[in-house]
């Protein structure tokens, strides 16, 4: 998959920008706060996912403007070109005849909500906030797995939604279960729904993570020149839907006491160890960043393996905190793929064959 042309209008601080990245490395450089991450984020949205910065759609639209437009061409590995268009309506967009929210078109066909674009444009993004994959709470690691699965298997989205909906309803019921008759029966039906969707989530997570971890561990060994071992593991809360149902049923008294669902995929986690120790508590900043990066590089390999399509790599400020050997390994590892990389330091890229663009106050210009 290659992004061949990308154009944005009224996107965050960018009034208008357009560029045609090459098939290899493209560097977007510039001082802090100029719009480098904004540009990368606009490319990421082509995947159908929401902002990797957790921003609401409205925040993506340039201040004082009703809507933003992203229009791009991407070349698939079979040579076909696809035309993407995303329109994001901000507050007050209706007066301009645009729905509030994020909507997508592919080759001129309306796809409705931009999330329906999932499974077409493949990308992997690594931003400083992804350090939380290693450092942060289990919640971020679950989001990482779920987002990857949604991109790879659009069928995962309805399963996930069913689970989350049943979870929210059951949690609400658990909070005041003592207060009305028939609550137990209702809880039973939520248990069934949770076990059905949850069992499917576990099956997908396990299958995906087994492959992912093997690649990530091998990549970490290369990144650290074999001097450190990093291991990843996932222990599901149950083997399958039946076992999950039994565990949820057994937990009923404690769930009633706690007032929330205590068993299920929404409580799972991934364990990351560096040199045998918990990376979250003991890893150095560079080690944690390396582990998070390896998960992302492995994600790219998994996408290529499963879909047959190389994803576009979006690396936001990834080189800071990595020593020279790790930088060289990383830049070697991403060869053969299209990579868009942001950096405050253009000087370190003057010898690369790739294009270099400078972002200044939302204006983009090519410098190499
Ligand atoms: N909706 C918006 N409208 C106008 N400007 C916005 C909007 N959202 C964000 N910005 C501006 O975009 C700028 C930040 O851009 P961005 O995060 O892309 O910077 P950057 O070049 O990646 O900087 P750094 O090197 O510090 O990461 C901020 O100055 C912010 O005020
Ligand atoms: Mg940035």
- Same domain? For 106 and 201 the reply is no
- 335 has a pLDDT exceeding 90: no
Closest C-alpha residue for ligand 1 atom 29: 33
- Same domain? For 73 and 128 the reply is no
Per the structure, the count of domains in the chain is: 2
Ligand 1 centroid from CA 70, angstroms: 17
| Cα-based distances in Å from 5 to 18, 53, 78 | 7, 23, 17
Task: Among 274, 308, 342, give the residue marking a domain's end.
Answer: 308
**Residues in Cβ contact with 309 at an 8 Å cutoff, skipping those fewer than 6 apart:** 1, 76, 77, 122, 303
The Cα 150–Cα 157 span in angstroms is 6
User: Which CATH number characterizes residue 295's domain?
Assistant: 1.20.1050.90
Contact of 275 with 229, CB cutoff 8 Å:
yes
The Cα 136–Cα 63 span in angstroms is 31
Contact of 314 with 130, CB cutoff 8 Å:
no
Q: What is the DSSP letter of 146?
A: H
Which secondary-structure segment (H or E) carries 132? helix 132-135
Which secondary-structure segment (H or E) carries 174? helix 156-175
The least confident of 28-32, 299-303, 351-355 is 351-355
User: Which CATH number characterizes residue 353's domain?
Assistant: 3.40.50.300
Ligand 2 centroid from CA 32, angstroms: 7
Beta bridge partners of 106: 84, 109
Ligand 2 centroid from CA 325, angstroms: 23
Nearest atom in ligand 1 to the alpha carbon of residue 344 is: 25
Question: Is 358 near ligand 1, meaning CB less than 6 Å away?
Answer: no
pLDDT at 165: 98
Contact of 136 with 104, CB cutoff 8 Å:
no
Q: Is 74 helix (H, G, I), strand (E, B) or coil?
A: strand
The burial of 259, by beta-carbon neighbours within 10 Å (0-12 exposed, 13-18 middle, 19 or more buried), is given as middle
Ligand 1 pocket: which of 13, 37, 65 to mutate (most atoms within 8 A of CB): 13
Question: Is 37 near ligand 1, meaning CB less than 6 Å away?
Answer: yes
pLDDT at 178: 67
Domain that includes residue 345, residue range: 1-117+312-368
Average pLDDT over residues 163-184: 90
- Same domain? For 172 and 141 the reply is yes
Contact of 74 with 4, CB cutoff 8 Å:
yes
Question: Is 38 near ligand 1, meaning CB less than 6 Å away?
Answer: yes
Ligand 1 centroid from CA 361, angstroms: 9
- Mean residue pLDDT of the chain comes to 94
**Residues in Cβ contact with 353 at an 8 Å cutoff, skipping those fewer than 6 apart:** 24, 25
| Cα-based distances in Å from 281 to 139, 140, 186, 219 | 16, 16, 41, 22
Beta bridge partners of 315: 126, 341
- Same domain? For 127 and 255 the reply is yes
Query: 152-176 burial, b if ≥16 CB within 10 A, otherwise e?
Result: bebebbebbebbeebbebbbebbee
| Cα-based distances in Å from 27 to 19, 51, 90, 317, 364 | 12, 21, 29, 10, 12
pLDDT at 336: 81
- Same domain? For 109 and 51 the reply is yes
- 191 has a pLDDT exceeding 70: yes
Ligand 1 pocket: which of 17, 27, 35 to mutate (most atoms within 8 A of CB): 35
CA 156, distance to chain mean position in Å, is 15
The least confident of 132-146, 278-292, 320-334 is 320-334
pLDDT at 154: 83
- Same domain? For 37 and 85 the reply is yes
- Same domain? For 127 and 275 the reply is yes
Ligand 1 pocket: which of 14, 32, 37, 64 to mutate (most atoms within 8 A of CB): 37
Task: Among 308, 331, 356, give the residue marking a domain's end.
Answer: 308
- Same domain? For 279 and 366 the reply is no
Average pLDDT over residues 225-231: 94
| Cα-based distances in Å from 54 to 41, 140, 161, 264, 332 | 11, 12, 18, 25, 30
- Same domain? For 30 and 167 the reply is no
The Cα 41–Cα 60 span in angstroms is 9
Q: What is the DSSP letter of 317?
A: S
- Same domain? For 102 and 172 the reply is no
Question: Is 32 near ligand 1, meaning CB less than 6 Å away?
Answer: yes
The two tokens of residue 327 are: 């930088």
- Same domain? For 71 and 127 the reply is no
Ligand 2 centroid from CA 191, angstroms: 43
Question: Is 344 near ligand 1, meaning CB less than 6 Å away?
Answer: yes
- Same domain? For 286 and 201 the reply is yes
The Cα 359–Cα 342 span in angstroms is 10
pLDDT digits (tens, 9 = 90+) for 108-128: 999 999 999 988 999 999 998
Task: Among 308, 336, 354, give the residue marking a domain's end.
Answer: 308
């Amino acid at each position: 998959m290659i992004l061949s042309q990308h154009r944005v209008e009224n996107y965050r601080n960018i009034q208008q920008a357009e560029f045609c990245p090459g098939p290899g490395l493209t560097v977007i450089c510039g001082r802090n706060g100029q719009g480098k991450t904004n540009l990368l984020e606009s490319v990421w949205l082509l995947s159908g996912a929401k902002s990797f910065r957790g921003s609401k759609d409205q925040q993506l639209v340039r201040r004082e403007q009703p809507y933003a437009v992203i229009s791009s061409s991407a070349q698939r590995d079979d040579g076909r070109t696809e035309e993407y268009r995303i329109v994001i309506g901000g507050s007050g967009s209706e007066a301009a005849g645009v729905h509030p929210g994020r909507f997508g078109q592919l080759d001129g066909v309306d796809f409705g909500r931009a999330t329906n674009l999932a499974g077409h444009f493949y990308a992997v993004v690594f931003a400083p906030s992804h350090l939380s994959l290693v450092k942060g709470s289990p919640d971020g690691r679950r989001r990482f797995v779920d987002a990857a699965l949604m991109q790879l298997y659009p069928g995962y989205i309805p399963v996930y939604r069913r689970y989350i909906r049943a979870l929210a309803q059951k949690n609400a019921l658990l909070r005041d279960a003592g207060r009305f008759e028939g609550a137990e029966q209702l809880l039973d039906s939520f248990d069934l729904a949770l076990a059905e969707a949850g069992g499917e989530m576990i099956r997908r997570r396990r299958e995906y993570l087994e492959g992912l971890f093997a690649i990530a561990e091998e990549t970490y060994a290369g990144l650290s020149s074999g001097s450190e071992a990093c291991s990843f593991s996932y222990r599901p809360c149950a083997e399958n839907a039946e076992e999950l149902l039994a565990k949820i049923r057994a937990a009923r008294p404690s769930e009633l006491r706690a007032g929330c669902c205590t068993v299920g995929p929404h409580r799972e986690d991934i364990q990351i160890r560096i040199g045998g120790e918990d990376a979250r508590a003991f890893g150095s900043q560079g080690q944690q960043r390396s582990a998070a990066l390896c998960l992302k590089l492995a994600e790219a390999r998994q996408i290529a393996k499963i879909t047959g399509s190389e994803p576009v790599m979006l690396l936001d400020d990834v080189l800071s905190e990595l020593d020279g050997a790790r930088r060289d390994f990383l830049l070697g590892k991403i060869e053969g793929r299209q990579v868009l990389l942001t950096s405050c330091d253009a000087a370190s890229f003057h010898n690369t064959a790739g294009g270099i663009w400078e972002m200044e106050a939302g204006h983009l210009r090519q410098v190499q």
